[in-house]
């Protein structure tokens, strides 16, 4: 009896430790989901950057493989596509004339589609509520039961035929879905560089070739007061830089693309494009309007 009391006291002295298996499992699942999403996002961004590099090769002839040196630089190049997409989306979002045309063009069709959708919802809801009362569905449920000795002979053969048919249909649908998904994933990944290519083409057209001047430099007092707005038609400006080493400028031009290790420059006067590494190089922002004012020589 005394030994039993001692064991009871020892068990009572042990603190209650909550089970941690479920918590750890949930934490690992969350971590795996985060890693999976981050991996997919990195692949998509790298594919966008690859499309941007292809667009530069198509527009200026610079080999796309020389523009980037790593996957991280491809992800960096995707910022060009994202910025172009944001600019296009914001311009469409605040374009009153565009939305007026859209509303006027799809007004009648939109009302008709909404009415059709509402009618379909009513029909589906009514059919769903009447679903358990249909004798054909109850009969199908009877056919799909597992054959047993208590079934009648017709019922036994109906179940015997229905089960392999349904199993074969499910197996075929599963295999077909797996084939479709396996073929769709590479196709979707191949579409992403196409978007990057188109957005890169638009970037070079609007913000490299179609610019009017370099971005002006303003002293501190003007920046503190605020840059005055001009009453004239707004000019499209772009970043222009000069590269120098040991105090000597060896390259300058409009920035086409820039990564952590290199920059692609475009000379508006001659149309020349060059890629320069930025290791050990001084990069200076310049305001060289003469590029756009002078006429190119034939």
Strands 240-245 and 273-277: unpaired
pLDDT of residue 36: 87
Instruction: Please write the tens of the pLDDT for every residue from 187-235.
Output: 777 888 999 999 999 999 988 998 888 888 888 887 777 766 654 556 7
Domain's final residue, options 175, 209, 243? 209
pLDDT of residue 186: 75
pLDDT of residue 163: 58
Ordered DSSP codes for 43-105: HHHHHHHHHHHHHHHHHH---GGGT-SSHHHHHHHHHHHHHHHHHHHHHHHT-HHHHHHHHHH
Residues 130 and 235 reside in one and the same domain: no
Residue 5 lies in a domain: no
DSSP state of 220: H
Residues 205 and 264 reside in one and the same domain: no
Residues 227 and 131 reside in one and the same domain: no
Residue 131 lies in a domain: yes
Cα dihedral 84, 87, 88, 90 in deg (nearest 10)? 150
Q: How many domains does the chain have?
A: 2
Instruction: Please write the tens of the pLDDT for every residue from 137-171.
Output: 444 444 445 555 555 555 555 555 555 666 677 77
Both tokens of residue 240?
């222009």
Residue 214 lies in a domain: no
Residues 247 and 137 reside in one and the same domain: no
Residue 128 predicted with pLDDT over 50: no
The CATH number of whichever domain residue 277 belongs to comes to 2.30.30
User: In the predicted model, what is the mean pLDDT of residues 243-248?
Assistant: 91
Residues 232 and 191 reside in one and the same domain: no
Residue 238 lies in a domain: yes
Residue 119 lies in a domain: yes
| Rounded Cα distance, 276 and 198, in Å | 25
Instruction: Please write the tens of the pLDDT for every residue from 84-126.
Output: 888 877 665 555 565 566 556 555 556 666 666 666 666 555 5
- In the chain, DSSP assigns E strands to 213-214, 237-238, 240-245, 248-258, 262-266, 273-277, 282-285
CA dihedral for 128, 133, 138, 141, sign (positive or negative): positive
Cβ(236)–Cβ(211) below 8 Å: yes
pLDDT of residue 233: 58
Residues 46 and 126 reside in one and the same domain: yes
Residue owning tokens 């009302």: 111
| Rounded Cα distance, 193 and 81, in Å | 10
Domain residues for 243? Answer: 220-293
CA dihedral for 24, 25, 28, 29, sign (positive or negative): negative
Residues 29 and 131 reside in one and the same domain: yes
Nearest to 67 by CA among 196, 195, 167, 168: 196
Q: Between 50 and 126, name the one with better pLDDT.
A: 50
Residues 27 and 125 reside in one and the same domain: yes
Residue 25 pLDDT class (50, 70, 90 cuts): confident
pLDDT of residue 265: 94
| Rounded Cα distance, 95 and 83, in Å | 18
Q: Using only C-alpha atoms, what is the Rg of the chain?
A: 34
């Amino acid at each position: 009896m005394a030994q039993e009391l001692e064991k009871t006291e020892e068990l009572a002295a042990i603190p209650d430790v909550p089970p941690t298996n479920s918590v750890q499992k949930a934490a690992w699942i969350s971590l795996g989901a985060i890693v999976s999403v981050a991996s997919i996002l990195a692949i998509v961004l790298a594919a966008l950057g690859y499309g941007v590099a292809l667009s530069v090769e198509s527009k200026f002839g610079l080999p796309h493989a020389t523009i980037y040196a790593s996957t991280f630089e491809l992800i960096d190049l995707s910022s060009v596509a994202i910025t172009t997409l944001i600019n296009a989306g914001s311009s469409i979002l605040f374009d009153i004339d565009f939305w007026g045309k859209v509303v006027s063009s799809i007004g009648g069709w939109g009302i008709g589609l909404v009415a059709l959708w509402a009618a379909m919802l009513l029909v589906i809801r009514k059919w769903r509520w009447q679903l358990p009362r249909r004798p054909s569905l109850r009969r199908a449920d009877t056919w799909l039961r597992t054959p047993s000795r208590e079934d009648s002979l017709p019922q036994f053969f109906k179940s015997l035929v229905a089960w392999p048919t349904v199993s074969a249909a499910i197996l075929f649908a599963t295999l077909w879905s797996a084939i479709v998904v396996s073929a769709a994933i590479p196709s979707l990944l191949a579409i992403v560089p196409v978007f990057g290519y188109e957005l890169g083409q638009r970037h070079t057209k609007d913000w490299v070739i179609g610019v009017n001047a370099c971005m002006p430099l303003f002293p501190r007092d003007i920046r503190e007061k605020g840059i005055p707005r001009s009453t004239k038609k707004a000019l499209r400006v772009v970043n222009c830089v000069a590269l120098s080493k040991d105090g000597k400028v060896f390259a300058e031009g409009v920035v086409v693309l820039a990564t952590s290790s290199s920059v692609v420059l475009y000379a508006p006067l001659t149309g020349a494009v060059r890629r320069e590494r930025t290791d050990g190089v001084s990069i200076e922002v310049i305001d060289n309007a003469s590029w756009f004012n002078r006429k190119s020589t034939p």
